Structure 1
């Protein structure tokens, strides 16, 4: 389908999803969030897509939620806007296919929250991260209080959120918010290398790993291990497991079928 605020392209087994509102620094308004919701559904239904790259057009990843829309909200409409953002980001987070955020510039507020809903974050050396909402008289509304804490720890999350501090890519790397930092001109190419490396693995096994990790951090270890065992067993019903192990034993090329 056609989108006004995003661009969705396929390159082999990898989808590249770009937030495209460069004049607004890719700020997230309601229309963009709804288009992102539709794009996630489109990606989920496409069995030929094994991995996703999410990035922004121009000098920003996403500079935040759109303040020009938010400034006139009241309590009820503000809550609805927050619910919309959280619903879309949670759908992104629980998408069975792995998602790499290629953070090319500003990732502030809703942009930082969007990156944290992805599985892996890599950043341009010029990227900036932060949850500066308290400086605008609001809290993070799209999951920032929850995901930042899970990624960088309680104390660091509270410091960043309470102070509205904006940090650079190297500091984000140091605290564990991003996995790697690259020069701007190399970022997308490196994201594609990573995405294609993931896409070359057994897709069902990768999706099961994502499910086990995401669910496991929210439950006790014994329940998590039981869930892992269930998924491990389910792998043996797939063609990917048969093909992968036969190829390993016979030293032939692997051929994964996503079945």
Structure 2
């Protein structure tokens, strides 16, 4: 995928055929996340969100890792911070992760290696997770005396269930890609040399569909754990009205049936 549009220090941004590719680019430290990367990630997602040509975002890591988590320099600095400063820094990082999760476009994590700690929490903000066979996953924070503070304790149970999430957090156990697939942490696992192909195939399938309907469906799905059923059903009915007002639904039905008949 070509067409690099932006220049960052810790992130690469590429765009082609309606797909933005955001690459964590600190391979020498397994894409450990520092303050600069957090800021550049937020900006890259903002750019993708504003670009009407972008239909799907792929998030991945350069080199042999997705992300090994927060940079050791940040972790070592935790004990030197005042308590109020620590609280504010944590809330700031949490806000960036929430901003990434709320992007009004589908985001696919292409997990090409270790996704640990804050790196796994970053993958959890994505809508889909496709992993290579060599990927490993874990939230090892309790092993070093801290908690997963970038919503790992909130997002993980929504994906794998409360019991499994408690096991992974409390044991600090690292799991491989096949176990991650088995518990529903990732959608699919493929050989490393097939990862890009699989992710691009999925992304291109998404680009064939209505961006408006996907946006509204993502909002509904993201609210499903937080809003009561009746409120969410009302929101869904309003969303349907927006779709019908703004989309050529009969035409899209005919096009979809045509694709089915053509086996596409």
TM range (shorter): over 0.9
Report the alpha carbon displacement of residue 240 of structure 1 after superposing the two structures with TM.
4.7
Deviation of residue 78 (structure 1)?
A: 2.6
Q: Is the 8 A contact 1:202 1:240 kept in 2?
A: no
Shift of 1:91: 1.1
**CA distance in 2 between partners of 1:139 and 1:108 (Å):** 13
Report the 3-state secondary structure (helix = DSSP H, G, I; strand = E; otherwise coil) of the residue aligned with 1:236: helix
Deviation at 1:241, TM superposition (A): 3.1
Deviation at 1:242, TM superposition (A): 5.6
Residue in 1 that maps onto 2:262: none
Aligned to 1:79: 87
Of the three residues 98, 116, 136, the one matched with 1:90 is 98
Provide the residue aligned with 2:37 in structure 1. Answer: 32
Looking at structure 1, the residues matched to 72 and 203 of structure 2 have their Cα atoms a distance apart, in angstroms, of 33
Q: CA RMSD in A?
A: 1.7
Q: Does 1:191 align with 2:199?
A: yes
TM-score, normalising length: structure 2 = 0.91
Structure 2 residue 62 is the aligned partner of structure 1 residue 54: no
**Structure 2 CA distance, aligned partners of 1:233 and 1:154?**
35
- 1:41 matched to 2:46? The reply is yes
Deviations 1:68-106 (A, max 9, x none): 222123223332332222111111111110000010001
Q: Distance in 2 between matches of 1:57 and 1:145?
A: 27
Contact kept, 8 Å, 1:55 with 1:103, in 2: the verdict is yes
Q: Distance in 1 between matches of 2:32 and 2:21?
A: 18
> How many corresponding residue pairs?
252
Q: Secondary structure at the match of 2:108?
A: strand
Secondary structure of the 1:15 match is strand
Q: What's the counterpart of residue 151 of structure 2?
A: 143
The 10-residue stretch of structure 1 (176-185 or 220-229) with the greater mean CA deviation from structure 2? 220-229
Deviations 1:88-134 (Å, cap 9, x if unpaired)? 11111111100000100010000110000000001000000110001
Is the CA contact 1:151–1:177 (under 8 Å) kept in the aligned structure 2?
yes
Structure 1 residue aligned with 2:24: 19
Distance in 2 separating the partners of 1:229 and 1:22: 46
> Which of 214, 228, 241 pairs up with 2:249?
241
SS at match of 2:7: coil
Cα offset for 1:217? 2.2
Instruction: State the distance in 2 between where 1:111 and 1:167 align.
Output: 14
Q: What are the ranges of 5 or more consecutive residues in structure 1 without an aligned counterpart? A: 253-259
Q: Is the 8 A contact 1:33 1:84 kept in 2?
A: no
Q: Does 1:214 align with 2:232?
A: no
**Rounded Cα–Cα distance in structure 2 between residues aligned with 1:30 and 1:192:** 29
